Amino acid sequence: MREINKIIIHCSATREGQDISVDTIKRWHIEGNGWNDIGYHYVIGLDGSIYKGRPDNVQGAHTKGHNKGSIGICYIGGCDKDLNPKDTRTEAQKLSLEILLEGLISGYERRFLVSVHGHNEFSNKACPSFDVQEEYGRL
């Protein structure tokens, strides 16, 4: 098991209500970025479904300089109709994200100290379009 010390939350930077698949994101990452796989470990669909991306034991490609020791989670959305940053999470996405975070933290904290962050804490980006520390800093 690789050492995990943080979970980093992202958004897909797609319009509110625009449903895209894990396969679409994977194609963006492989064809657009030249990576060998999707960069995230988990993706949360509009309906709250949690999809597996990279295996947890494989380093992600989601936050430059912070992929080692982290798990990347992406929710579908994050922009308004004009592609401006907006917290577009559905209630189902919020619930699934909290369940996923609690499960990951409880699993990894037995061996490692795990903290939760937004992508914007490590990069000059709006992603994930909400304040992760305000919402999940208590976990």
* Whole-prediction pTM: 0.94
pLDDT above 80: residue 123 = yes
Does residue 92 belong to any structural domain of this protein? yes
Mean pLDDT across 132-137 = 92
Can you give the CATH number for the domain in which 101 is found?
A: 3.40.80.10
Query: Catalytic annotation on 79?
Result: no
* Rounded Cα distance, 69 and 45, in Å: 24
The confidence band for 54, taking pLDDT boundaries of 50, 70 and 90, is: very high
Of 11, 40, 41, 74, which residue is the catalytic one?
A: 40
Does residue 1 belong to any structural domain of this protein? no
**Structural domain of residue 60, as residue ranges?**
6-136
pLDDT, position 1: 61
Does residue 46 belong to any structural domain of this protein? yes
Query: Catalytic annotation on 127?
Result: yes
Query: Catalytic annotation on 29?
Result: no
pLDDT, position 67: 96
- Chain centroid to Cα 79, Å, comes to 15
The confidence band for 11, taking pLDDT boundaries of 50, 70 and 90, is: very high
Q: How many distinct structural domains can be found in the chain?
A: 1
Query: Catalytic annotation on 66?
Result: no
